[in-house]
Amino acid sequence: MRSPNSSPDSRWTRRAFATLPAMAAAQTIDGEIRRMAEAPPLAMRFTGSTTAEFTNWRGAFQAKLGELLGPIDPPARWDMVEESRSEREGVRRLSLVLRAGGVRDLPVHLLEPSGSGKRAAVLALHGHGKHGYDPVAGIAETPERRADLDKANYDYGWQLARRGYLVAVPCFTPFGRRLGDPAAYKGEDPCGVTFVRMQLFGQVLMGENLRDALWALELLALHPRADPARMACVGLSYGGRMAMLTAAMSDRIRAAVCSGALNVMQERVRGRYGCGAQVIPGLLKYGDVPEIGSLIAPRPCVWEVGQKDGLMVKAWLEPSLERMRRAWKAAGSPDNLQVDSFDGGHRWNGAAAYPMLERVLGG
């Protein structure tokens, strides 16, 4: 007969607990993620120095990024509904809704400067905020809205239209009118909640917002007064992130301005990062924000960096820029990467952006 002390359960118990220290500390998921963030794979980080090496890398990394984002092509055909129109200071604003089967309606403000002839066109993208795309198009109907707009110099879409550009300002998900009732989220971050919910259907929130940016870009290209050979993309904060991504994935963009967006996921994920609107699943296996930004090379690009912008960690700025400078140098156009470091906070500046756009796009 087998001894009770030699039963499988008792032998397992002795083996399992004999080697444990008296006060074993359980490993937390937060600690594990922080450890992984110290040295993520970044397996496709650009390390070359020649134009041929950059060209090969760019094709491979752009394709991999496309896989991570999922479907990003805008609808081939759509209907356009005009909700309202107004005019002031020589600029007509059309508030439109683009509608196609199988995708959510896309609200877009289209800003048309007065005059005749073909115009350069700019896609102006908004950041976080309960008013969505309205401030970028110069809409501030209350003192509260006006104060928010002035603080961030947020009406850069309107400013560009006043400078003679044809401008499209799409509304991203989940912001402004596309959010619905904020109270329904019960204090939780709508970006994080929306990201998780969409993942259950195999959708990436940032990929779908990129699709909508490309949809608005197509709207611009088809405009009878637009010159589709002269198009640019600009944005502040999340809009800066999306301007980077749009220019990275579309060669139709001749120039880009990325404002208040020079921070990396490797740094942000350490702080229990939760903005699902900026998460690309699997990104750190292959690269990070500097690698996405490098896809814009050799085209002109301005990064606006406010010296008092608390949303960007200064220790990460120069290393990120160095990774991008390597790409622009290898691509043969190192001077096309500009940094506008200004005395200010999280806001649009324009000091280097407007001259660059005028130089590249013309009037």
- What pLDDT score was predicted for residue 141? 85
- 275 located within any domain: yes
- 30 located within any domain: no
- 141 located within any domain: yes
Q: Is residue 52's pLDDT more than 80?
A: yes
- 260 located within any domain: yes
SS3 assignment, position 109? strand
Q: For the chain, what's the residue count? A: 363
- 204 located within any domain: yes
- What pLDDT score was predicted for residue 1? 47
Mean pLDDT of 11-38: 70
Helix intervals (H) in 228-294: 238-249, 265-268, 289-294
Residues 156, 163 contacting (CB under 8 angstroms): no
Q: Is residue 50's pLDDT more than 50?
A: yes
Q: How far apart are the first and last CA of the chain?
A: 97
- 7 located within any domain: no
- What pLDDT score was predicted for residue 30? 87
Total number of domains in the chain: 1
Q: Is residue 10's pLDDT more than 60?
A: no
Distance CA(352)–CA(344), nearest Å, equals 14
Q: Is residue 88's pLDDT more than 90?
A: yes
Q: Give 16's pLDDT tier (boundaries 50, 70, 90).
A: low
Global pTM exceeds 0.85: yes
- 10 located within any domain: no
- What pLDDT score was predicted for residue 22? 54
- 36 located within any domain: no
- What pLDDT score was predicted for residue 129? 85
Q: Whole domain around residue 330: which residue ranges? A: 48-361
pLDDT tens digit string along 185-236? 888 999 999 999 999 999 999 999 999 999 999 999 999 999 999 999 999 9
Q: How far is CA 27 from CA 31, 211, 269, in A?
A: 7, 40, 18
Domain CATH for 110: 3.40.50.1820
